[in-house]
Structure 1
Amino acid sequence: MRQPARLLVAISGGSDSTGLLIALHQVLRTNAFPHITLAAATIDHALRDTSAAEAADVAKLCASLGISHTIRRWHGQKPATGISAAAREARYRLLAEAAAELGATLILTAHTLEDQAETIAMRAARSDTQASGLAGMADAVLYDRRIWIARPLLFCRRADIRRLLTDHGLGWIDDPSNTDARYERVRTRQALAATGLPELDPQSTTRRTALSARAADRLRNHAKTIAGAAVQIAPAGLSEPGEDLRHMLSAAIATVGGRVHGPGRDSMDRVLALLRQPPGGQLTTGRTVLSNRRDGLFILRENRGILPLVIAAGDVDLWDDRFEIANLCDVPLTVEGDADGAIPDLALNLPSGLARLARKGLPSLSRSDDGQPVGSQDARITLRIAPFDLFLPRFDLTLADALAAVFGRDPYLPPPF
């Protein structure tokens, strides 16, 4: 752990997060780690009438322990569908804001062995899940390229955590949503309770890390970008097909297509089948076009569903899920596809048909009031690496850094431990 360090515990008041806070408090009060301090944050999702009172109870517990605590509330209208995913995104966004305010260098969450088993079971049940997904949750995740979130209890059972709290005369809050069978995780939890917790493979994370490292080597040695619009992978990088080739191609396709996840297994099987055919074949998947040529595989954004976007003066927005664009003007800017045809790299390094397609996938900026094009001094454009820019599992850090290098981005923030 880098010194000094300030740990921010995400505590809901449930048994797992309360146990994590108590265990850390016990260790740190011995002064064995004087360079580490502790803070806590509770995210009130405002989804239940009792949530504000529960957050206040957590604040009282932290005050009794002498631990700095803040409450962040998820304001605004909640979505009618996808509430779990939306709540998760809001939770991590609010935790990152709290960490910045409190000067925290690391966020800690209390995911347990049971949570890990449920995650792996849910991924295994999805027919299009890649084998690499069965590693489950990483022990640490980089959020929004700015702060790491660690999960120190992934190998701890919930019963042991509750025993610790009971021994200290402490209770916890039971969230009723944890028994609501409308949620996939709850149904999985109930199924595992009936069959017993399976043995988890202790080497799965090691294998996933090694897989990502091999995929990263292929990228570094054999891939390049052309004007930020296309990825070319040399024939040598496509030889000796294996899971690392699949993993590399999945990440590259997701990045070019602006998708958080790569194509499913069936789609990736089609991609690998394309590579086994003589040069000249082409297919579309994950909002991309893949063209297999004698000089390698070209991956470009598909010319479909590229919508215009208006960015207010001084604002930053995401266009086509691929480019973060900051408007530095004092008037709104309109962003559309089909960039200026005079991009030398496209004409020089891509066949004419692919060059035309590549141009349509690049942003073209103009003033919204008079339609006049703007220059680089009027906007800042940053390519987004969609699979990793919001949530980057630690076992994929090497692959993410390889993608960043290929696309001309800075490396990702290394873990603070």
Structure 2
Amino acid sequence: MTKYLENKDCECEFCKNNHNFNLPKDIIEAVQNRNLVVFAGAGVSTESRSVYKYTLYEEIRDLLNLDQSTNLSFSELMSQYCKQPNGRAKLLRKIKERLDYVGSFPELERRASNFHIELSTIHQITEIITTNWDDLFERKCGAVPIVTIEDFAFWNNPGRKVLKIHGSINNYGTVIATKEDYEKCYQSLNSGIIGSSLKTMLATKCVVFIGYSFGDEDFNKIHNSLIEEMKDFLPHAYIVTLDKKAEEKFSNINITPIITDATFFIKVLKEHLIHLKLIVPDENFGDIYDVLDLVQEEHTRLSSLVNIKENPQVILTLCYQDGLIHSFERILAMRKTGDYSNPQQVRKIINDYEIIKQQKYNDGVYHDVAYIDGYINGLIYFLYNEELDCIPCYYVFGYEDDIFEFEDFLEIIVNSEITHPESFKYAFNIANKIDNKNGDTVFHHTPFL
């Protein structure tokens, strides 16, 4: 058991549930082996008390004028609501209204998606199961949604997937809410392809239930079904919960409770993986924004102040800067998938580009060589920015030292024809083909080679 301690002095709304806990060795090993499955419930979504003051259950109960002491289960209450004329349509509209309301306030959306964003950069977690209807795992974690049997064709594809066993708000016909829906759903899970895959995951991998409670209808149905079928062969699982009585409640069903906040649990897990150098720190992404702004400013400065007809070598410098910009933009765009949080994967990309660059250099395609050098430098800066003071924004073929300042670049480029005659001639031929009568044409390298 690995113990992580955090200052527990803060009692604000966001930190008060960040209880210290022991991180089980099983979970660490499962993540390292890409064998951890997250099973997420309503507690890590828009139904969290930190997002809405009242749950969908409470809202529907009040609309039905039922007493707060009602003991109807969630699905029974939804069935009751659907008995009115057009009840099903009204329920779906109510669900959509709640999700749309959260989406219309960035503060609420941030609260609803804190867990998803924290999870997103743990590249080793590629399989998620959820009973939630929202699309936060898709939008914030880059997960491909598996909702119907047809979708299941994508399950073995590379990348992160989320199995949505209670449907999706993006496909109203799949939403599972009423007692009748639940019965059909669990009949299907007991006999269908998706259900078989679900059981295989729960039976062969390390599962962490997050956002559920012992009395949760979804949790009880799913877990009881597995217990009946697998009995003593069901692997040990974990549940992240704030219920301080969980030890007693889960002691007989082979589940170990971890008493802490769901997002805090993921954050602590991530800190451990960073310590083991298995993922890139999230801070590296934040640093990229500032450096990207700098490179774009220098790109605009160069293209507006130096004429490519008079200084053709600038064409290759612009390609280098395009490579930097595209590298940074892709890193940021792909952050949610976790791909670029994998240091081993980033190093492989760098090595692959080095091979392509050598071939391009041998073929004399110098604008591609400059672009690739920029792209590689962007990846290197992302991985090692703590060790680097700044990014070289300028580039001249044949000049081996880094060039950081515009003024230094202007001095160095004067000798570019001598420094690397072949690339100068290559750039000169490109410049002669460009119609730049007004002097405002900007040479641009697209993100293709």
With structure 1 as the length reference, what TM-score do the two structures score?
Answer: 0.27
| Structure number with larger C-alpha Rg | 2
**Which structure is higher in strand share?**
1
**Which structure is higher in helix share?**
2
With structure 2 as the length reference, what TM-score do the two structures score?
Answer: 0.25
